[in-house]
Structure 1
């Protein structure tokens, strides 16, 4: 399971949340967060601590603070003691609420980082979940090219030198957008895959004979995207006259990346084939399928209907001939 240190909450990426460290600077690297989900420990403060998840960010909002303020000092200390002994990763108090001295006492005892922010709980939870989901997402790296074609994230795979980058350049020239070339970093966020470029290769594409080209400088910012959801996978393969390739579109193939199944097309490459145009057609066809129209299936249905009509006509003809005899 992927984890991050609590000190990541003080990174520049979420500086707009204005998290202020109240206590625990020396423990920021010792405490870890393993889930993007947030916990508000209301019942835990009332004594039911069975479902406290230690490696989640714990949020104390107006409800929690108002409840403990209704208790006596001894009851507050006991409530925070039972909660903190679960060794939670960190605690954040929202809305600049006054932090009970009993909470400060307990986080010091159990070495738990304590933060405060002026942001309200609802916004804080939303922003931190988005941040943690990105940081904790499982990831992998795949060699290929990722392009945005008509809003569809197309991952192009194939052996080195088969023409993936050349095809991507042609697609950019035709008005589409490059996301990543060569090393594609893919993160799994719930049930979708998000592809981005290696930081060093961002905006760049490698073409044999020309070298490294900067797509942003050559074609403008409209020709690039920082990240894109991957929706279909297209594999370039060398043309083999003895190989049987799909000619109807009814042979559905699947490409699995981190247990996510994606539509997979295998396109043979040969001199004279305009691969960029074919990928455009594949992206358009994918959009039609999302809207409920499958051209291959519709063709098969018409073909089967025609065959059935011809079969009935043939039966009627045979029966009529037998009647004449």
Structure 2
């Protein structure tokens, strides 16, 4: 199971540290859910989601502030008696002295941010959804062609980077070359490039290229969805390649089926053009039109017409 440590979360979201627990680098967050302990402030502790990050916003703070000090202290003591991972206070609100006292006693971290509660929760959930998402790494090239994310795969030297470079020259965008980090975000498959090699590409005989500097900021993208997988392979005379397109093939990435095409490569074939056409054709299919099925329908209709003419004679 994926997780993020508390200290990394603080760094990523630039949270102010009010009190850091001794084990801040060991506390693991493995759920994207958060909890606003308003009911607990009111004294209701059944179904308390204590295992989640606790967010104290304006409502929780002002309600707590309205309580008699003795009651507030008792409620805070009980909240901190549970093994909560951390407390985050929004809108830069002051920290109650008893909250800080019990946090130190129970070794629970307290953080603060100036942003609103709603925005904080959105940022937290979106960030945690991303870092905790199922992930894998593949060897390939990810490009965006006509708005579709296309993952080019194939053995080393088959021409993935060269094909991507030609696509970039034609106005399409590079997302990742050589290494593609893939995450599943709900029902979508996202691909990104490791930060250290982002926007760089290796072309045999030339070396490393900085695509952003060579072709401008419009030629690169930091991440993209994967809508189509194209497997490039050397042309095999003994292999039967799909010539009609009626039989659709899929590959599974992190449990989701992605359309897949196998494109044979040999001298004289313009692979970049074929990828462009594949992107256009895939978009048509997503919109409900299949050229292969349309032609099949016409052929069957013509056969049926000729049968009727023969029977009529």
Alignment TM-score > 0.5, same fold? yes
Cα pair distance change 1:49/1:110, threshold 3 Å: farther
Q: Give the deviation of 1:277 after TM superposition.
A: 0.3
Give the unaligned 5+ runs of structure 2: none
Alignment correspondent of 1:209: 205
State which of 24, 43, 48 in structure 1 corresponds to 2:45.
Answer: 48
Alignment correspondent of 2:8: 8
Q: Secondary structure at the match of 2:22?
A: helix
| 8 A contact 2:21–2:107 mirrored in 1 | no
1:131-280 to 2 correspondences below 5 Å: 131-280=127-276
What is the CA–CA distance in structure 1 between the aligned matches of 2:24 and 2:282, rounded to whole Å?
47
| 8 A contact 1:27–1:113 mirrored in 2 | no
What is the CA–CA distance in structure 2 between the aligned matches of 1:257 and 1:6, rounded to whole Å?
29
Number of equivalences: 312
Q: Secondary structure at the match of 2:152?
A: strand
Cα pair distance change 1:312/1:81, threshold 3 Å: farther
What is the CA–CA distance in structure 1 between the aligned matches of 2:285 and 2:23, rounded to whole Å?
52
Q: Secondary structure at the match of 2:209?
A: strand
Give the unaligned 5+ runs of structure 1: 318-325
What is the CA–CA distance in structure 2 between the aligned matches of 1:62 and 1:217, rounded to whole Å?
46
String of CA shifts for 1:152-178, please: whole Å, max 9, x gaps.
111000011111111111111111111
Q: Give the deviation of 1:181 after TM superposition.
A: 1.1
String of CA shifts for 1:272-305, please: whole Å, max 9, x gaps.
1111000000111122222222222222223333
| 8 A contact 2:92–2:112 mirrored in 1 | yes
What is the CA–CA distance in structure 2 between the aligned matches of 1:309 and 1:102, rounded to whole Å?
87
Cα pair distance change 1:174/1:79, threshold 3 Å: same
What is the CA–CA distance in structure 2 between the aligned matches of 1:233 and 1:180, rounded to whole Å?
14
Alignment correspondent of 1:82: 78
Q: CA RMSD in A?
A: 2.0
Alignment correspondent of 1:320: none
Cα pair distance change 1:245/1:44, threshold 3 Å: farther
Q: Give the deviation of 1:44 after TM superposition.
A: 3.5
TM-score, structure 1 normalization: 0.88
Which sits farther off after the overlay, 302-311 or 82-91? 302-311
Between structure 1 and structure 2, the one with the greater Rg is 1
| 8 A contact 1:47–1:82 mirrored in 2 | no
Q: Give the deviation of 1:146 after TM superposition.
A: 0.9
String of CA shifts for 1:194-238, please: whole Å, max 9, x gaps.
212233322222222222222222222222222111111000122
